[in-house]
């Protein structure tokens, strides 16, 4: 009953005019960003962070705005997948497989409506999952000491590479690079400057928001410049939508699929290192094995549209569980959301649930509300979003770049930060060329300090004995999972990744 | 080949990082671990992964032609100029030029580029400065 009391409090927080308006704004912007190729959940949320700060929002409203964007982007990605066969963001790539053939058969409207409903089912179940599972995970997390936290961070980094990259060495490189960047600045424990090379601007360390916006948003602009991809993918294509109500029989046929893939997607989301892209991928693959008896998947089977959409939205909700309960995000976008929390001086993890229950439950309640808003936005008003697909990227990308600059300048008012951001943008472009995943870098810059502090605290408490790190069964378990999570993909990962790779483009490095 | 160079670069980066870590001046009041240990652990991971990349390279990435590289370099230079000139000439003018440049390089006609530049700049100024009250760089003209 605790749950309902907490949820009730949460709805009391979420049901203010300001929070409702922010959720609606977030849902709208998120759907737009998800729909536009080139902007996805992680860089979409990244460029909106400064906006949340400028508006002087408190932690709860800021989180409501940005997670609504996150949920919205998961809905929006399907629109261009179905109409244009181009995934609007990475998790939507599996939706192309059956969504676009449906559209070609003249059933675009049905596909859009069905995928909207599937998204709703997935996200709705995942939000319940979040409300039920996160408090349980918090109970375990309360048993964690510094050594266990250190092991947990190591686990996050070691498993992150497993799915997000084809090359474990490159994922490890990215994580080390991010952690290394985090050590720049004055050492929090002893007060000595490290790796600052006498530059006063670096004493505070690198601002992770600058790194995120540079790596995610500016590098995208460089990718577009490289290909001189200035047109709109939708130009010249006919986008007939047709009727927007799927027949009852179609919905009925898809219901078991949606329920199964919601569960599967949620689990995929909770697991570290997986995220929404994997959620939609395994959902589609599993459904294909289970129900595709006549070989209709890939030719416009409605179940092939429902499966990945329910899966990716459920995974998006699932990925919030470790981020909120442990403070360790498992995917790109949740890493960006963690950055928001850290920048607002809120440390996620077990203490968040006891000290700021209003933030957690307000957020969860807002997600329930946002979900209904998204359903309303995405079915009757889908025509509006399809028209936005006509915006050519030669207009869109300059706006993205300038909003990024304004946001960072608005926070710090310093040209130095802008230069650092440009540096990160170029670095992001180069690393994406080398197929180095960017998410571990972000996670490294975010978690580096607290990882180091936990390490030092653990060893100091035990009088300099380093074996304390593997001294408790809990820590040993975490290390065990971490090592398995790192080694397993070396053997089994190739197949899963080959399947995912078949459909991905350069958006791959910013997976979520 | 690219990956081999990249891997070697990673190893060199790790070595440089180790040197910089040893150069950290320890304070007389230090904990049992000290400020150097964690960076050294990271340098080890960095070096090992660099070596792994160099020894088992992936297939060559698709590098763009020289002209495209110049394009990216030019865009980076324009952005750096933008960052440096922002406090000097003010937000609206600087942004209009930078956005127009990007739009032009992405294939807009000159007229469209100018429209995108002015539109972006005035639009952002209106939303972020006039509506949301964010303080943007002020130029000699007051905007």
The pLDDT assigned to A173 comes to 92
**Average pLDDT over every residue of B110-120:** 92
Nearest to A324 by CA among A344, A312, A338: A338
Question: What's the pLDDT at A126?
Answer: 93
Cross-strand bridge partners of residue A491: none
The answer to whether B132 contacts A176, with C-beta atoms less than 8 Å apart, is: no
Nearest-Å Rg of the Cα atoms of chain A is 22
Residues 6+ apart with CB under 8 A from B56: A169
Give mean pLDDT, residues A108-126: 90
pLDDT of residue A502: 56
Q: Which residues contact B30 (CB under 8 A, 6 or more apart)?
A: A189, A190
C-alpha distance from residue A208 to each of A137, A215, A297, A438, B78 (Å)? 27, 10, 43, 13, 23
Per residue in A163-221, pLDDT (tens digit) is: 666 788 888 999 999 999 999 988 877 878 888 887 778 888 888 888 988 998 888 88
What does the pLDDT read at residue A91?
Answer: 79
Distance, CA of A99 to CA of A110 (rounded, Å): 10
Provide the Cα torsion A403, A404, A407, A412; round to 10°. -140
Q: Which residues contact A512 (CB under 8 A, 6 or more apart)?
A: A40, A41, A42, A89, A90, A91, A275, A276, A277, A331, A332, A333, A334, A439
CA distance A447 to A339: 10
- Out of A216-220, A471-475, A491-495, pick the least confident: A491-495
Q: Indicate yes or no: CB of B33 within 8 angstroms of CB of A460.
A: yes
**Among B42, B13, B53, B9, which residue's Cα sits nearest to residue A165?**
B53
* Across A450-461, average pLDDT: 89
Q: What is the pLDDT of residues A138-148, one digit of tens each?
A: 888 888 888 99
Range name among A173-187, A484-498, B2-16 with the lowest pLDDT average: A484-498
pLDDT at A506 over 50: no
A39-49: per-residue pLDDT in tens? 888 888 888 88
Whether the predicted pLDDT of A512 surpasses 60: no
Residue A510 pLDDT greater than 70, yes or no = no
Tokens 């070609």 -> residue: A104
Per-residue model confidence (pLDDT) at position A509: 44
CB contact A425 to B (< 8 Å): yes
| CB–CB contact A433 B61 (8 Å) | yes
A398:B68 CB<8 A: no
Q: Which of A151, A169, A454 to mutate to test the interface with B (most CBs of B within 10 A)?
A: A169
Cα dist from A464 to A456, A476, B34, whole Å: 9, 19, 10
Question: Would the pLDDT of A505 be above 60?
Answer: no
A494 vs A280, higher pLDDT:
A280
Q: What local confidence, expressed as pLDDT, does residue A163 receive? A: 61
A499 pLDDT band, cuts 50/70/90, is: low
Name residues 175-214 of chain A within 8 A of B (Cβ): 175-177, 179-180, 183, 187, 189-195, 197
Q: Do B76 and A426 touch (CB under 8 A)?
A: yes
Bridge partner list, A185: A194
List the 136-175 stretch of A: residues with Cβ below 8 A of B: 166-167, 169-170, 172-173, 175
Do the Cβ atoms of B61 and A434 come within 8 Å? yes
B60 touches chain A (CB under 8 A): no
Which residues from A are below 8 Å from B56, CB to CB?
169
A456: contact with B, CB 8 A cutoff: yes
Give one DSSP letter per residue of A412-474, joined into a string.
Answer: H--HHHHHHHHHHHHHHHHHHHTT--SHHHHHHHHHHHHHHHHHHHHHHHTTT-GGGGG-SHH
CB atoms < 10 A from the CB of B123, how many? 15
B116/A398 touch (CB, cutoff 8 Å), yes or no: yes
Alpha-carbon span A200 to A205, nearest angstrom: 10
Best CA proximity match to A305, nearest among A505, A89, A82: A82
Q: State the pLDDT at residue A507.
A: 43
- Domain limits, chain A: 2-509
pLDDT > 90: percent of chain B: 48
Say what the pLDDT of residue A494 is: 61
Q: What percent of chain A has pLDDT over 70?
A: 91
Distances (CA, A) of A254 to A82, A105, A153, A465, A498: 17, 19, 39, 57, 27
A370 touches A27 (CB < 8 A)? yes
More confident residue, B101 or A467: B101
- In angstroms, the CA A79 to CA A73 distance is 10
| Least confident interval from A103-107, A508-512, B107-111 | A508-512
Beta-carbon contacts of A205 under 8 Å, excluding residues fewer than 6 positions away, are: A182, A184, A185, A186, A449
Q: What is the pLDDT of residue A7?
A: 87
């Amino acid at each position: 009953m605790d749950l309902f009391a907490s949820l009730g409090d949460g709805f009391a927080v979420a049901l203010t005019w300001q929070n409702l308006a922010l959720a609606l704004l977030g849902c709208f912007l998120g759907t737009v960003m998800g729909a536009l190729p080139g902007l996805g959940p992680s860089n979409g949320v990244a460029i909106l962070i400064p906006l949340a700060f400028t508006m002087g929002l408190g932690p709860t409203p800021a989180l409501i705005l940005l997670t609504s964007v996150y949920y919205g982007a998961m809905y929006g990605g399907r629109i261009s997948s179905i109409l244009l066969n181009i995934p609007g963001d990475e998790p939507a790539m599996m939706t192309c497989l059956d969504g676009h053939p449906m559209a070609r058969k003249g059933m675009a409207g049905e596909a859009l409506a069905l995928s909207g409903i599937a998204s709703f089912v997935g996200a709705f179940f995942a939000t319940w999952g979040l409300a039920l599972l996160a408090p349980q995970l918090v109970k375990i997390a309360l048993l964690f000491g510094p050594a266990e936290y250190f092991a947990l961070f190591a686990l996050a980094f070691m498993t992150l590479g497993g799915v997000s990259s084809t090359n474990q060495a490159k994922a490890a490189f990215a994580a080390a690079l991010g952690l290394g960047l985090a050590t720049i600045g004055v050492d929090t424990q002893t007060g000595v400057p490290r790796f600052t090379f006498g530059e006063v601007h670096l004493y505070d360390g690198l601002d992770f928001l600058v790194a995120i916006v540079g790596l995610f948003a500016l590098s995208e602009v460089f990718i577009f410049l490289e290909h001189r991809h200035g047109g709109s993918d939708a130009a010249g294509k006919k986008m007939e939508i047709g009727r927007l109500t799927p027949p009852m029989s179609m919905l009925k046929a898809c219901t078991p699929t949606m329920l199964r893939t919601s569960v599967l997607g949620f689990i995929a989301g909770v697991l570290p290192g997986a995220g929404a892209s994997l959620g939609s991928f395994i959902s589609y693959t599993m459904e294909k094995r289970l129900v595709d008896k006549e070989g209709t998947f890939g030719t416009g089977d409605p179940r092939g549209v429902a499966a990945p959409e329910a899966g990716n939205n459920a995974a998006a909700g699932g990925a919030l569980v470790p981020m909120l309960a442990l403070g360790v995000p498992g995917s790109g976008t949740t890493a960006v959301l963690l950055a928001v929390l850290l920048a607002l001086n809120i440390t996620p993890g077990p203490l968040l649930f006891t000290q700021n229950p209003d933030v957690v439950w307000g957020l969860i309640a807002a997600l329930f509300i946002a979900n209904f808003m998204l359903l309303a936005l995405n079915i009757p008003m889908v025509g509006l979003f399809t028209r936005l697909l006509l915006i050519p990227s030669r207009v869109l990308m300059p706006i993205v770049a300038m909003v990024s600059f304004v946001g960072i300048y608005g926070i710090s008012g310093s040209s130095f930060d802008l230069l650092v951001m440009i540096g990160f943008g170029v670095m992001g472009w180069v690393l994406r060329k080398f197929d180095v995943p960017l998410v571990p870098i972000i996670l490294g810059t975010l978690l580096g300090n607290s990882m180091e502090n936990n390490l030092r605290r653990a060893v100091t408490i035990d009088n300099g004995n380093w074996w304390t790190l593997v001294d408790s069964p809990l820590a040993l378990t975490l290390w065990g999972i971490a090592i398995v999570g790192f080694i397993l993909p070396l053997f089994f990962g190739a197949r899963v990744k080959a399947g995912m790779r078949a459909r991905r483009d350069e958006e791959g490095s910013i997976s979520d | 080949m690219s990956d081999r160079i990249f891997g070697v670069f990673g190893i060199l980066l790790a070595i440089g990082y180790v040197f910089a870590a040893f150069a950290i001046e320890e304070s007389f009041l230090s904990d049992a671990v000290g400020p150097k240990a964690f960076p050294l652990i990271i340098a080890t991971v960095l070096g090992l992964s660099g070596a792994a990349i160099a020894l088992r390279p992936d297939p060559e990435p698709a590098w763009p032609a020289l002209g495209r590289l110049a394009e990216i370099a030019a865009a980076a230079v324009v952005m750096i100029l933008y960052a440096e000139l922002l406090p000097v000439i003010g937000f609206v003018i600087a942004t209009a030029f930078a956005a127009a440049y990007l739009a032009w390089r992405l294939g807009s006609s000159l007229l469209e580029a100018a429209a995108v530049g002015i539109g972006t700049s005035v639009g952002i100024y209106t939303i972020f400065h006039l509506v949301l009250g964010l303080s943007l760089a002020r130029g000699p003209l007051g905007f």
